[in-house]
Amino acid sequence: MTVLAIVVPCYNEEEMLPETIEQLRALRQQLIDEQLISSESKIVFVDDGSRDRTWTIIYKACLRYEEIKGIKLAGNAGHQHALLAGIIAAKQMAHCVVTMDADLQDDIYVVREFVRKFQEGYDIVYGVRKKRDVDSYMKRWTAETFYRIMNRIGVKLIYNHADYRLMSRRAVEALAQFREVNLFLRGVVPLLGFPSTTVYYDRKERKAGVTKYPFMKMIRFAFDGLTSFSMMPIRFVSLLGFCSFVVSVLFALYVLFLKMTGHTQTGWTSLIMSIWLVGGLQLMAIGLVGEYIGKVYQEAKQRPRYIVDVDLLNGPMIARHEREKLAEEIS
């Protein structure tokens, strides 16, 4: 029977986490009763260096429930790396891994369809939103624009898919071979090439806590994804520079013609506009080149993508002093 692991990265989720734990436990039991998954299936929470009581809640749940497992990262590695840490850790205990966020905005009962698709032979099952009506207009517009740009430049992204997906063990093992530091899972997973399908669902509104992707962070995330998978931006700047050069040559010929015909007039508007235009293009080009150089610099250092502080996949005995302290609180 299928052994499932549900991986949930968490960052400052103390308000939402208790309900998330209870709902996922109830879902797991339902799937076991329906004989879709084995009783050996687990739920793995990854604390991504939270500053609130998130880890305490996860630790208590590990002590109370055998099916709950926890991993604590030494620092805030970022959502994508925390997700990867949970996926890699869970691959040895399960036939397939489902990843989802802790805010319960994704319909958790779609996991039932994920498992059925996996049992039909699919290695990757993408959870895709039917619509984005719970998002603000700005967030919806920027997200849709991002997907269009990425698809236009040849990056294989699943439209309206975030990180709610199922992956088989062999898909996870293939994913583990990608060693890049600048991780963008939404772009990496489709590169694996294994049989895949999609399941559509309605996304809910967040019940508690705040989003971990405000507007500026979402923009940075999108830019990281764009520059991690395509040379198109830097080629676009090169093309823009070439076009600017051609326009400058034509403008110089025009000014030379006016001078030869005696129609020149003194003025500074055209000069200032030209300086600003060329200066802006240069700064933009330098900044974009620097972005790529920075990514090469990060990759060349080969630093670990995350560091595990506490690993409770094999039980809470790893940190005995914390276990005794929290056991007293539970009682």
Angle at the Cα of 92 from the Cα atoms of 91 and 95, rounded to 5 degrees: 65
Average pLDDT over residues 129-138: 70
Tell me the CA distances in angstroms from 155 to 11, 125, 167, 196, 278, one per residue in order: 28, 19, 20, 17, 30
Q: C-alpha distances in angstroms, 106 versus 52, 191, 199, 234, 293?
A: 23, 24, 12, 35, 36
Model confidence band, residue 317 (pLDDT cutoffs 50, 70, 90): very low
What are residue 260's phi and psi, to 5 degrees? Answer: -70, -30
Neighbours of 40 (CB within 10 A): 15
Asked whether the whole model's pTM tops 0.75, one would answer: no
Contact 113, 199 (CB under 8 A): yes
C-beta atoms surrounding 257 within 10 Å: 11
Give residue 209's pLDDT: 54
For the segment 17-31, the average pLDDT, to the nearest whole number, is 95
What confidence tier does 318 reach under pLDDT thresholds 50, 70, 90? very low
Q: What is the DSSP letter of 283?
A: H
- Between residues 167 and 221, the one the model is more confident about: 167
Token duo for residue 194 = 């294994």
The Cα–Cα gap between 42 and 107 comes to: 18
Question: Strand runs (DSSP E) across the chain, as ranges?
Answer: 4-10, 42-47, 68-73, 96-99, 124-129, 161-168, 196-201, 308-311
C-alpha–C-alpha distance, residues 165 and 199, integer Å: 9
| Whether the Cβ atoms of residue 323 and residue 84 lie closer than 8 Å to each other | no
Q: Decide which of 263 and 58 is more confident.
A: 58
Q: Please state which of the ranges 22-36, 154-168, 306-320 shows the lowest mean pLDDT.
A: 306-320
**49-61 pLDDT per residue, tens:** 999 999 999 999 9
CA proximity to 9, closest of 93, 89, 79: 79
SS3 content of the chain, % helix, strand, coil (to 5): 55, 15, 35
Determine the Cα angle at 94 with ends 92 and 98, to 5°: 115
User: Can you tell me the distance from the alpha carbon of 289 to that of 301, in angstroms, rounded to the nearest whole number?
Assistant: 19
Distance CA 293, CA 220 (A): 17
Main-chain dihedrals φ then ψ at residue 66, nearest 5 degrees: -65, -30
